[in-house]
Structures are given as C-alpha cells and as structure tokens.
Amino acid sequence: MNPSTDAVPRLTSLSHGGGCGCKIAPGVLSEILRCSPGLPIPAQLLVGIETSDDAAVWKLNDSQALVATTDFFMPIVDDPHDFGRIAATNAISDVYAMGGTPIFALAIVGMPINVLPIETIGRILAGGQAACAAAGIPIAGGHTIDSVEPIYGLVVLGLVHPDKLRKNSAARAGDVLVLGKPLGVGIYSAALKKENLSAEHYTQMVNVATQLNTPGPALAELAGVHALTDVTGFGLAGHALELCRGAGVEGHVSMAGVPLLPGVFELAQAGNITGASGRNWTSYGKDVHLDASISEVQKALLSDPQTSGGLLVSCAPDSVDAVLATFRDHGFGTAARIGEIKAASGQPGLVIHA
C-alpha cells in the first residue's frame, strides 16, 4: 500500500547519516581495501584505486579514454527534489574532477516503499533528472531496490582525452592550491537536522551543492594545472591529504584563505557538527599537522564532509590567474588560493596554518 502523503516523514529522519557524511571513514576504507586481493593492472587502465582518485579511467584509443564513477547516499535535505539534484550533481562531479566531460548516467535507487509515497520517490528521481539535464546528459537506465533507508545516486560515464586527464596524484613541489567552492555543507546539514538552519542558509546550501563542477574540463586544458580532485566526504583536509600522499609531497593550507559558507563558523561554534567530521579527523592520523593556534572549530571545518564540494586544483604559480578566471567564467565567484605544495621533508602530509 502506498503510504499517505499526510504522514510523510522528514527524509533526513530516515537516514543515519546524510550526503557524503555517509562515507566510510578514510582510515577504515583503507583497511578494507588492503584486504582485497591484488590483480594484474591492464595497460588500458589509466586510473584505478591506487591513489583513491575520483573515478576509474580506461583508455579506448589515442584520443579517448572512458571515465567511470558511481556515487550514492542517504538524504542530506528533506525536500525530495533538492535531494535528487544534490545527489546527482555530486556523482557527476567525479567526471569533471578527472578533466572529463560526462556523456550519460545510470540511476541507483533504493527506497523504503512502505514508508515513502510514490510521489515523493518520483520527485527524488525528477531532481536527479534535472541535474543531469543541466549537465547535458541523459539518465539511460539504472537499478532499483526496496531498502530500509532512502538511497539515491548515479553511475556516470564520461570521456577525456588521455593527454588531458588530470589525476589527484600529479601535484608538484612549488604548485599553488586553489579551492573552487566554500566549505560548510556538512555543518549546514547538521544544523538542518537539528532545525537550527535558517531558510536563507538552506537556500545557500542547496545552491552550492547543486552547482555543477563544470570548470573541470577547461581547467584540464591549462598546461599549468597538474592535479585535480573534488572535496567531498573526507573533508578538505582528507582530500588534500590524498593529493599529497599520491604525489609524495607536503601540502600547506592557510585557514585564513579558505572560503566558507555564510554563518558556518558560528553554526559550528554552536555545536552543529556531523559525526563524520570526528571520524574523518581520527583517520588522518599523524599526517595532518596543525599550528598551535588552530581552534577546535577550525578543525571541524577542515574535516567537515562536503556533499558535492568544490574542485581542488594544484597548479603552477604562473597559472593561478588563469585558474581563478576559469572558475569565475563558470560562476564560481568564491574560488580562492588556499595554499601551496612543497617537497616533503619526510612522510608526505599536510600542514595547516592559521
């Protein structure tokens, strides 16, 4: 029986964790993958799981490589259409983060059929279709199951020229770090669950989480752009650390330069922090080093899980202006220089300055 629309529960009340905050913590994920048997790597597989990159890439020929990724999660917001849009935007981002252009998607749908009305589920799917339409791609199929918690996401396929592919492991000493979107979506979502988020901040959260990372292919055209990734569930510190570990370098991030969503600092001060933030921080281990003046709130901002977060770019210093101009041309007005890459003096890692 289809449940009554008069008794529809809040979507966020049906999920134990929302958005990219549902991700398994990076340290636990590393342990799981370590237990997986190693297999021969075909020459055509240009990117696999070795450096926790954003997508797999398979070389088709000298001018084309296939980019393949999947991403799905439980609700981060209560509005079904917004949830679908955010989940789809987040999934598509991984293709952009490789410098690729998406070509089509498959839907991943798990819904508690006896809890949510068909109309609500339909609005979730319509939101995903809206995001795909904005990216210029069709949803060409998918798979559905009856599940305990609502789950929605996409498999996304894209194309990239093998010479334009941008990995998360190619940063170079001397590079500058640029971040495309402000931080704080996880803190906004925690405040929403506690009914502490204003209507204005909710609108800002949806706007930033549904902004497609379309600068990716244009950034990959810049010779000075050496590495790309997107900042999602592991937080800025986690994804920057992956970038540094993959390249064997030491990243330096200045908190003063990191863009934040309006009111996020105050919301974090008031205790609106996700459980994933603490799990993330524990997983970083000793490879993230903090200035003594970094506060607990700043630590929470660094590990805040970003759902559909911004692109993180490692580029040559003389390319910074072109990188920022590319972001601005695509509507990313808050993109900012946040740090630099240095040669590692020991173990690759990340240093956070005030």
Enzyme catalytic residues:
20
Cα separation of 265 and 269, whole Å? 6
Cα separation of 352 and 87, whole Å? 30
Length of the chain: 354
Could you give the C-alpha distances from 183 to 40, 94, 132, 133, 305, in angstroms and in order? Answer: 38, 18, 24, 26, 9
Cα separation of 54 and 34, whole Å? 18
90, 123 in Cβ contact below 8 A?
no
Which residue from 29, 27, 52, 55 is spatially nearest to 244, judged by alpha carbons?
A: 52
Which residue from 226, 234, 219 is spatially nearest to 180, judged by alpha carbons?
A: 219
User: Hey, what amino acid is at 82?
Assistant: D
Q: In 136-234, where does DSSP find H-type helix?
A: 185-193, 199-209, 215-220
Crossing angle of the two packed helices 185-193 and 199-209, in degrees rounded to 10:
140
Could you give the C-alpha distances from 54 to 4, 95, 139, 254, in angstroms and in order? Answer: 40, 8, 20, 24
Q: Is 295 helix (H, G, I), strand (E, B) or coil?
A: coil
Cα separation of 65 and 59, whole Å? 4
Cα separation of 337 and 212, whole Å? 20
Could you give the C-alpha distances from 37 to 33, 34, 54, 119, in angstroms and in order? Answer: 8, 8, 21, 43
Element (H, E) at 142: strand 139-146
